[in-house]
Amino acid sequence: MGKKIVIDPVTRIEGHQEVITTVENGHVVDAKVRGTMARGFEGFLVGRRWMDATIAVSRVCGVCWHVHAEAANKALEKTAQIIPTANGRLMRELTVATHMIADHILHTYFLTGPDWFDVMKAADYSGSNAKVRSVINAVKNNTFGIVHKYPTGRYIEDKKTCETLLAHYLDALGYIQKSHNAIALCGSKAPHPHSITPAGVTTDITSEKLINLSSTLSQVRGFVEGTLLGDALAIAKNFPEHFDLGNAGGNFLAVNSCYQPDETPMFKAGVIMGGRHQTLSQNSITEMTEKSYYTSSGEYDTDKPGAYTFVKAPRYNGNTAEVGPLARLVVNKDKRFADIVSSLGGRLGSSNMGRLLARGVECLNLLEYCESVIDHLLKNINEPFIKAWNPNQDITGESWGHGIAARGALMHYYRIKNGEIQEANLIVPSTWNFSPLGGPAEAAMKGLPTTFRGQETNLEVIRTTHSFDPCMACSIH
């Protein structure tokens, strides 16, 4: 009988996650990941007008708001049989891409960065960066009531590297702000752009706006190419063992996303199961609730025997699948990513380090994608970004909308009768990754070491759950 260790809370932002590990002989032998709050979006959408869904689902999450709006919009547009204008469709894709860029910077520096380097290694910093000095002083003096307590373990030792990472951590705030400016240029405001609609976008898109967007994103690209990727590589070089830790089983799933001017997706849909590439089929996806707090009719039941989470368990032909930037890059055989992993002597598969590097590489891919779309739109600026359509029509039908989100493949389903939503189903990235019944994150935790120099530690469990970039608000929705 192993020892049970509870880590709660474990997420830095976005919802409540608890991880319970069973530890034997210094290693995790079992892990349960719990989503401990109820949400209810799928329930309260029922009975509402179909056009309400896009606006409502943008509130599923405080981090990845816009991606939900876009997935919903795609599903509703399909049901209403509205074909958007080419420029309108591209503008929506661009808005999603800018959102993902902001999210990847956020994850790399703020949501997982402090798992790898200890701010206090830079405690005797004597350089001239005033921001670095003030943060170190604030931590030393506990100015904000921040308790500086890191889990036991090995962090980056080199003082100079820690000083550099801390300086970049602070710079990253400015680039997240720039990325949000880019979202607002595309979609009128951030968070929750309200420009998105069937048939296109309501934003007034001008050449001037696109040039401004291009210039903003080129500054972000400078940071991602020159700083973020270098920092991700520095972390990878310091922790080569993490190419072998956090293996979620090697099944991956991705949906078509980031459509290009020629209407082909930059990220193609696909599934890898047991090492074999397959075509993605919606009919192969089911959601199991055996270990989730729901009755068979979808009501809450927190007393259900054996249940331990509000997260459901999506499965592909009954199998778990990891989703996220790593899944997209592996399914699409991304050369840039494969070259980087190979230059580091790493394993090209499911791992903590694979997930960390994949976010950096995908961020650069997305910036290149944005440049090519902006270029195309500038050449076609006189084409319409929206066309007339009737929002008051009482549509009937059902559709899935697939979208990209920073944390993986996103699917929204709506069944509508006479303009009223009868059923809503969201299958969200963090639902795949943090599902019960031995889902990807639970599998990735098995075998992790739980001691460091004779002392018990949860550090590798924390690094592993963070490597999936958990969002419990989304996963439960």
Please give the residue ranges that form the binding site for ligand NFE (CB under 6 A): 14, 61, 63-64, 67-68, 405-407, 410, 428-430, 471, 473-475
Distance between CA 23 and CA 25 in Å, rounded?
7
Query: Of 14 and 362, which has the nearer Cβ to ligand NFE?
Result: 14
Distance between CA 430 and CA 441 in Å, rounded?
10
Distance between CA 319 and CA 285 in Å, rounded?
9
Question: How far is C-alpha 471 from the geometric centre of its chain's CA atoms?
Answer: 8
Give bridge partners of residue 313 from the DSSP assignment: 288
CB of 72 to ligand NFE, least distance (A): 11
CB of 14 to ligand NFE, least distance (A): 5
**Considering only CA atoms, which of 450, 377, 334 is closest in space to residue 29?**
450
Single-letter amino acid, residue 199: A
CB of 368 to ligand NFE, least distance (A): 20
Query: Of 64 and 364, which has the nearer Cβ to ligand NFE?
Result: 64
CB of 469 to ligand NFE, least distance (A): 7
Single-letter amino acid, residue 377: L
Query: Of 152 and 282, which has the nearer Cβ to ligand NFE?
Result: 282
Residue 303 tokens, joined? 């007393």
3-state secondary structure 180-205: HHHHHHHHCCCCCCCCEECCEECCCC
Query: Of 103 and 115, which has the nearer Cβ to ligand NFE?
Result: 103
DSSP labels for 419-454?
TEEEEEEEE-HHHHHT-TTT-HHHHHHTT-B-EETT
Single-letter amino acid, residue 144: F
Query: Of 346 and 354, which has the nearer Cβ to ligand NFE?
Result: 354
CB of 177 to ligand NFE, least distance (A): 19
CB of 310 to ligand NFE, least distance (A): 14
Query: Of 161 and 425, which has the nearer Cβ to ligand NFE?
Result: 425
